[in-house]
Amino acid sequence: MAAQHNETPLAAKLGTPFRFGVIGVANNLLGYLIYLLVTNMGVDHKLAMSILYIVGASIGYVGNKKWTFKHQGRVLSSASRYALAHFFGYLLNLALLLFFVDGLGYRHEFVQGAAIFLVAVFLFLMFRYFVFREASNKP
């Protein structure tokens, strides 16, 4: 597979999971640092996660549609599926916080850090097979 003009040879060779990882690491690292900052300032951990989840998901749509999955399908269709996938990703993230922090008493910083990775795996599968699936890329 030849590298596209805007992609490094390594990114082209490693493909979609690598590109998803790059977008995810950049987006989630910044989001997690902001999460730590605002929760340290007294904002409730569930409220902070909720607000940052919406912001991060919105930013991630463009990067994932254009670069990760190179999706050429209709924006309205993929955006609605993207929102639905993130709705379930959000519920998964919230359930992890409710169960491990509020229920079992674990520190929210660690639970949210782990939740980022669990939700990322869930979302990658949703994006690949539901949101930006190959069939919708065909004219």
* Residues ≥6 apart with Cβ < 8 Å to 55: 31
Are 65 and 132 in contact, with CB atoms under 8 Å apart?
Answer: yes
Check the CA dihedral 7-11-15-19 and report its sign: negative
The answer as to whether 29 is a domain residue is yes
Crossing angle (nearest 10°) for helices 108-126 and 45-63? 30
> Is 139 contained in some domain?
no
Residue 122: inside a domain, yes or no? Answer: yes
Domain residue limits at 33 = 15-134
Q: Which are the contacts of 14, defined by CB distance < 8 A and separation ≥ 6?
A: none
pLDDT at position 7: 57
Classify residue 1: in a domain, yes or no.
no
The answer to the question of residue 92 being in a domain is yes
- Say what the pLDDT of residue 73 is: 86
User: Would you say residue 9 lies in a domain?
Assistant: no
Q: What is the pLDDT along the chain (139 residues), one digit of tens a residue?
A: 444 446 566 656 678 888 888 888 888 899 999 999 999 999 999 999 999 989 988 888 988 888 888 888 888 899 999 999 999 999 999 999 999 999 999 999 999 999 989 999 999 999 999 998 864 444 4
- Position 2 scores a pLDDT of 43
Looking at the 3D structure of the chain, how many domains does it have?
Answer: 1
State residue 10's pLDDT score: 60
Residue 62 covered by a domain: yes
Q: Does residue 4 lie within any of the structural domains?
A: no
